[in-house]
């Protein structure tokens, strides 16, 4: 899996491409750590090209959610495939994470939060 990083004025964007398994979960965790250190108040995770997520990948999301809450960073995921979204729903992560369909929806949430 590849993790691409982009920063904008109002958010930090991580784009996931491929399969999020035990090995690549470490890369994602490192990328989120860098994002948290950026002191940006919004972290967006683009899952449009995320094909698969394993238990360690889920673990990264759940453990880093707590870190985001402590630092008052809004974590927003978007573009989840039906298969990946189903995994999040089965585990109840859809109740803990902010999940929206598109980047535009995520940007609207950020804009609304700032007003």
**Tell me: the pLDDT tens digits for 43-93?**
999 999 999 999 999 999 999 999 999 999 999 999 999 999 999 999 999
Say whether pLDDT at 16 is over 80. yes
The number of distinct structural domains making up the chain is: 1
Say whether pLDDT at 115 is over 70. no
Q: What's the CATH number where 15 sits?
A: 3.30.750.24
Q: Domain limits at 50?
A: 2-113
pTM above 0.85, yes or no: yes
**Tell me: the pLDDT tens digits for 93-113?**
999 999 999 999 999 999 987
CA distances from 81 to 86, 87, 102, 112 (A): 8, 10, 11, 25
The pLDDT of residue 9 is: 79
């Amino acid at each position: 899996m590849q993790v691409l990083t982009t920063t904008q004025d109002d958010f930090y964007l991580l784009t996931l491409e491929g399969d999020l398994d035990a090995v690549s979960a470490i890369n994602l965790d490192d990328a989120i750590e860098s994002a948290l250190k950026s002191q940006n108040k919004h972290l967006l995770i683009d899952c449009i090209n995320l094909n698969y997520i394993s238990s360690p990948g889920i673990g990264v999301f759940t453990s880093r959610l707590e870190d985001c809450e402590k630092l008052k960073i809004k974590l927003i995921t978007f573009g989840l495939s039906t298969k990946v979204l189903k995994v999040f729903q089965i585990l109840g992560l859809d109740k803990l994470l902010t999940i929206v369909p598109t980047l535009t929806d995520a940007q609207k949430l950020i804009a609304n939060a700032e007003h």
